[in-house]
Amino acid sequence: MWKTILRRVLIMIPELIVLSILVFLLAKAMPGDPFSGSINPKTSPAQLHRLMAANGLFDPWYVQYWHWVVNLFHGKLGMSYEYQMPVINLIKQRGLNTLWLATFTMILTYAIGLPLGIFAGKHEGKWQDTIIRVFNYITMSVPFFVVLVIGIWIFGYALGWFPTSGSISPNANGMGETILSRLGHIILPGLLGALFGTVNIVQYLRSQVIDAKHSAFVKTAVAKGVPEKDIYRHHIFRNSLLPIAAFAGYSITGLLAGSIFTEMIFSYPGMGQLFLNAVNYRDYTVITTLVLLYGFLNLMGTLISDIVLSIVDPRIRVE
Amino acid sequence: MTESATKHETILTVKDLTTSFKINNKFYKAISDIDMKIKRDEILAIVGESGCGKSTLVNSIMGLQDPSETKITGEIDFEGQDLTKISEADYNKIRGAKIGMIFQDPLSALNPLKRIEDQIEEVLICHTDMSKQERRARVLELLDQVGIVDPKRTAHQFPHQLSGGMRQRIVIAIAIACKPDFIIADEPTTALDVTIQAQILDLLKDIQKENHSSIILITHDLGVVAETADYVHVMYAGKIVEKGNVDQVFNNPQHPYTRSLLKSIPQVDSESDELYVIEGSVPSLQNMPATGDAFAPRIPWILASDHEENPSMHKLGHGHEVRCTCYQDFYFKEESDA
Amino acid sequence: MSLIKVKNLKVHFPIRGGFFNGVVDNVRAVDGVSFEIQPGETFGLVGESGSGKSTTGRAIIGLEKVTSGEITFEGHDVTSHKDRKEIDYDQDVQMIFQDSFSSLNPRKRIESIIAEPLKNFENLTPEQEKIKVLQLMKIVGLSPDALYKYPHQFSGGQRQRIGIARAVATNPKLVIADEPVSALDLSVQAQVLNFMKKIQRNMGVSYLFISHDLGVVRHMCDRIAIMNRGQIVEIGSREDIYKHPKHLYTQRLLAAIPSTRVADRDKDRERRQKIEKEYKEKQKDYYDKEGRAYPLVEVSKGHLVALPPKEALKYKDIKEEN
């Protein structure tokens, strides 16, 4: 099994190289140069030319790419044009906020989605199932941002239960208060994001449970005299939850995509918001770094899913 | 108890059993008028083509149908209990412990994510108070009993790592784990190659002899019946149309359906190019006639007056029984042409 | 001249593995199979699951890539796709599948399903086409009102007959029937087999009849090849195979068929177990170290058996004397 995992990790290397080359070329293709914006207006074109040459801007692309990669590993990602600070610091700060929100959303998604999916599957065709499915169809048919806007309007403005912007209250002092304030800021966006995220899980898990329920091996278990609750515990749940567990990795992608909407609407200073702003202000260094990061996280997500799947499913496990 | 007393002991009695399925909020009879008995130490084959209700019959005995979609009336008497009336908890004490079941497709009958030993052990956990060690030892013993060459190795494997024949041996090991008196085998060899089929049938027969148990064997294969069974019930359109011992049914078949079926088998010595074809087709659940002989439309050259309004079983002696009076006047169409 | 000649056909599937997922070995699904089918004859290919019988059929019609070997149809080499296009091979060779339901397009009416090969290969006016479709339906015993129905409205036996009607629509010379009746009930099976025989009588088509059911094969086939582990271990007339089986595997296969002769069942069982025991003991004699069968030797006219070298010698001597 270690061999499988190692092979899977090795496969990621060329993927990463291709991704980084694409991002690098994207960065090169963007208009402007790193100096025009920050130099003295009196600098002569000849001086500028010399400055660019000194920084290797006229080297062949692969040399430049190599320097870029080396810098990447040293955390030298360049300066943000808009925020006037190193991109690495900016992303550290924003990334942490997004990590908070994304983790919280993910926990909530599974905490709501798993029981609902199992419950719906178990009561297939009965009223409990119908209610869950109606809820699902409604959520599926309403665009995500509409849910967010309605949510923020009701619980943020009308009821005033939750803050409607920011990631932490500026008045929070001390460890306890800081954590509480952070939580307070992510409850509403997290809950709404989770509500949306559950749809797929509920739908998928429901059909998994129904499939398992009607499978021949469950019939065998009944014929063995296994009580119903044990059949659910040992056969149906286990068999339907494993693929879900394995797909957790893939859901990283969905979370990142979702965070762009959520952070924008909640003015939550995370990576998603940073990305949108960077696009708005043509903050190229930030854009390229984020594209690279998103790409990397995506690959990681798939990697995690593949590894988990190979661990939990004996049919895939290579012995 | 003496040998002869055990020999005639009735294990299961089914009386006037009807099972109906709900389709679009209406109940349709899948099987009806089922009366049967199975005695200790015998193999009873239930034979018929797809849709005749043979699987419904054993699923009804085993209580495997979804109660919200099914209606069962009549009696299934097993060791003094009526299985149609007992609670699910009581049923669970019987299933696996006193009645073992073997299924058609051994791959899907096993949980793909569980090791073989866990799947066999589960039935021991449910019905015995053996310790973990005892259970593990019993698993190895069972694997050996069903002819697995390397029980230790196989115990740790997953279903997909075994061949079809080996998987079916595992399913059999599960069925006999608690030494039940009674085993239901639903098309146990249909998914297997013919050489493996022979081995599995031999194994079933050996187990049945060793444990002095009884087997209900569901199959569509007349050859399997002729080679394995002691008694035969032939089913058509949800009803038993002929009962008898294997010699009576194969060498002196009475019901037109039994006779037609046997005639349509490609014969060894027959030089004829044409196989015998039964006209028409099996009625679907929704189109099952409420009265009259369900087989009558497939032998239209037999007069309506030869059939009964409500076909009943007629005793022919020595346990041979046939449904409907039409057997008395039945002839094959080409016999009249000749 | 034989209609089709298969010479040393091999179909190997690569097994990937190892660290770089390279080809580490091959599954020798079909491993050197040779036979000929004469015009108007039914040739049976029999074996258990994994014997390579279906792969052989699929390779002949072009559904499987041929690793090596040669297929000649009426004297033309048709091994590669390019060769097949030069003659009317795709029209002359048709196939019937076991699972007729999944091979019929569920969204098409029977009329267009049967007419499809006609459209591909023959230029007919809509009227001519319809007449031809009705004729074909009559041949397989379907009533004209079935014309506008969809596949799901038919029973298994009827669908199989639709599959046959489609297969013979272009007047093919060879029909490859892969387990055509395995999914059918006994009474329905009889009907489908009767139609296949009737079509052969009327149209002179040859069948490559692939099946695991030795009873059905005996009824249908003139000559039969027994396949095991991708190779033919015995080939001969129906009489040769059923009355004088020479290869241990053939004997084992025949002994395993359950018979309806109730009176002989104890005797049959004894014989079967005896052969099974013999098979376990002597199996190694019949296959070489790599598990391959030995070359076929002719034991009587047209009856070829993959006998162990020692036994094969006897027959070679006789042949040379003659």
Q: Is the pLDDT of residue B144 over 60?
A: yes
Residue where a domain terminates, one of B121, B144, B175: B175
Mean pLDDT of C195-218: 92
pLDDT for B284 equals: 81
pLDDT for B6 equals: 54
pLDDT for B5 equals: 46
Neighbouring subunits of A (3+ Cβ pairs under 8 A)? B, C
Rounded to 5°, the CA angle B241-B246-B248 comes to: 70
Residue B247 to residue C262, Cβ atoms within 8 A: yes
Q: Is the pLDDT of residue B338 over 70?
A: no
> Which residues, in sequence order, are bridge partners of residue B81?
B78
Can you tell me the distance from the alpha carbon of B182 to that of B204, in angstroms, rounded to the nearest whole number?
Answer: 12
Residue A238 to residue B112, Cβ atoms within 8 A: no
Q: Is the pLDDT of residue A252 over 90?
A: no
Residue B146 in contact with partner chain C when CB distance is under 8 A: no
Mean pLDDT of C93-112: 84
pLDDT for B8 equals: 66
What is the CB neighbour count within 10 angstroms for residue B150?
10
Summary count for chain A: helices (H), strands (E): 12, 0
| Residue B9 maps to a domain | no
Can you tell me the distance from the alpha carbon of B322 to that of B312, in angstroms, rounded to the nearest whole number?
Answer: 8
Mean pLDDT of A229-247: 85
What residue ranges do the domains of chain A occupy?
87-312
**Which of C19, C21, C24 is the best mutation test for A, with the most CBs of A within 10 A?**
C19
Our CA-based measurement puts residue C52 at a distance from the nearest CA of chain B, in whole angstroms, of 14
Mean pLDDT of C137-147: 85
Query: Which of B94, B109, B113 lies closest to A313 in CB terms?
Result: B113
Residue C194 in contact with partner chain B when CB distance is under 8 A: yes
Residue where a domain terminates, one of B175, B199, B224: B175
Identify all chain B residues contacting C255, using CB atoms and an 8 Å cutoff.
Answer: 198
A245 compared with C50, residue with greater pLDDT: C50
Can you tell me the distance from the alpha carbon of C306 to that of C235, in angstroms, rounded to the nearest whole number?
Answer: 9
By the 8 A CB rule, do B193 and C46 touch? no
User: Where in chain C is CATH 3.40.50.300?
Assistant: 4-243
Least confident residue range of A162-166, B52-56, B242-246, B263-267: A162-166
Residues C123, C124, C130, C132: is their CA dihedral positive or negative? negative
Instruction: Map tokens 């090596």 to a residue.
Output: C68
pLDDT tens figures, A20-51 = 888 888 777 766 665 655 566 667 777 777 77
Residue C21 to residue A7, Cβ atoms within 8 A: yes
For residue A319, name the pLDDT band (cuts at 50, 70, 90): very low
Neighbouring subunits of C (3+ Cβ pairs under 8 A)? A, B
Domain count, chain B: 2
Least confident residue range of B132-136, B173-177, B305-309, C17-21: C17-21
By the 8 A CB rule, do B264 and B333 touch? no
Contacts for B5 with CB less than 8 Å, ≥ 6 apart: none
Question: DSSP letter string over C46-106?
Answer: E--TTSSHHHHHHHHHTSS---EEEEEETTEE-SSHHHHHHTTHHHHEEEE-S-HHHHS-T
Can you tell me the distance from the alpha carbon of C175 to that of C226, in angstroms, rounded to the nearest whole number?
Answer: 19
Q: How far is CA C237 from CA A127, C42, C189, C253, C293, in A?
A: 65, 11, 23, 16, 20
Q: Is the pLDDT of residue B7 over 50?
A: yes
pLDDT tens figures, A143-156 = 878 888 888 888 87
Residue C18 in contact with partner chain A when CB distance is under 8 A: no
Q: Is the pLDDT of residue B156 over 90?
A: yes
Closest chain A residue by Cα to residue B115: A314
**Which of C202, C214, C260 is the best mutation test for B, with the most CBs of B within 10 A?**
C260
Q: Is the pLDDT of residue A81 over 80?
A: no
DSSP state letter for C247: S
Our CA-based measurement puts residue C256 at a distance from the nearest CA of chain A, in whole angstroms, of 28
Q: Is the pLDDT of residue B269 over 70?
A: no
pLDDT for B3 equals: 46
Closest chain A residue by Cα to residue B120: A224
Query: Which of B164, B224, B277 lies closest to C190 in CB terms?
Result: B277
Distance of CA A165 to the CA centre of its chain: 20
Domain that holds residue B260: 255-337
DSSP state letter for A79: B
Least confident residue range of A125-134, A166-175, B212-221, C132-141: A166-175
For residue C237, name the pLDDT band (cuts at 50, 70, 90): very high
Q: How many residues are listed for chain A in this entry?
A: 319
Helical segments of C87-185, H only: 89-92, 100-103, 110-121, 126-139, 156-167
pLDDT for B307 equals: 87
By the 8 A CB rule, do C229 and C51 touch? yes
Residue C262 to residue B250, Cβ atoms within 8 A: yes
Q: Is the pLDDT of residue B226 over 90?
A: yes
Neighbouring subunits of B (3+ Cβ pairs under 8 A)? A, C
Least confident residue range of A153-157, B99-103, B260-264: A153-157
Closest chain C residue by Cα to residue B225: C260
Residue where a domain terminates, one of B159, B175, B191: B175
By the 8 A CB rule, do A156 and A163 touch? yes
A157 compared with C281, residue with greater pLDDT: C281
pLDDT for A63 equals: 83
pLDDT tens figures, A276-315 = 888 887 777 788 888 888 888 888 888 888 888 777 777 7
DSSP state letter for A159: S
Q: What is the ipTM of this complex?
A: 0.87
pLDDT for C74 equals: 92
Q: How many residues are listed for chain C in this entry?
A: 322
Mean pLDDT of C18-39: 84
Instruction: Map tokens 């039964």 to a residue.
Output: B278
C237: enclosing H helix or E strand: strand C231-237
Pairing of strands C303-305, B313-315: unpaired
For residue B270, name the pLDDT band (cuts at 50, 70, 90): low
Assigned CATH topology for domain A87-312? MetI-like fold (1.10.3720)
Mean pLDDT of B100-106: 91
Q: Residue C50 corresponds to which tokens in the numbers above?
A: 């994994």
A48 compared with B220, residue with greater pLDDT: B220
For residue B1, name the pLDDT band (cuts at 50, 70, 90): very low
Instruction: State chain C's mean pLDDT as an integer.
Output: 88
| Residue B243 maps to a domain | no
Q: Residue A79 corresponds to which tokens in the numbers above?
A: 């300066």
Q: Residue B305 corresponds to which tokens in the numbers above?
A: 């007056």
Instruction: State chain A's mean pLDDT as an integer.
Output: 81
pLDDT for B4 equals: 45
Residue B262 to residue C260, Cβ atoms within 8 A: yes
Residue A317 in contact with partner chain C when CB distance is under 8 A: no
| Residue B151 maps to a domain | yes
| Residue B203 maps to a domain | no
State what percent of residues in chain B have pLDDT above 70: 95
Mean pLDDT of B53-63: 93
Instruction: State chain B's mean pLDDT as an integer.
Output: 89
Residue B58 in contact with partner chain A when CB distance is under 8 A: no
Identify all chain B residues contacting C188, using CB atoms and an 8 Å cutoff.
Answer: 281
Q: Residue A75 corresponds to which tokens in the numbers above?
A: 């955390």
Q: Is the pLDDT of residue C222 over 90?
A: yes
- Buried b or exposed e, range B291-323, using 16+ CB within 10 angstroms: eebbbbebbeebeeebbbeebebbebeeebbbb
Instruction: Map tokens 């599959």 to a residue.
Output: C163
pLDDT tens figures, A128-183 = 888 888 888 888 888 878 888 888 888 877 777 877 777 776 676 777 777 777 77
Whole-prediction pTM value?
0.83
A49 compared with B82, residue with greater pLDDT: B82
What is the CB neighbour count within 10 angstroms for residue A49?
12
Residue B112 to residue A314, Cβ atoms within 8 A: yes
Which CATH code is given to the segment(s) C4-243? 3.40.50.300
Q: Is the pLDDT of residue C295 over 50?
A: yes
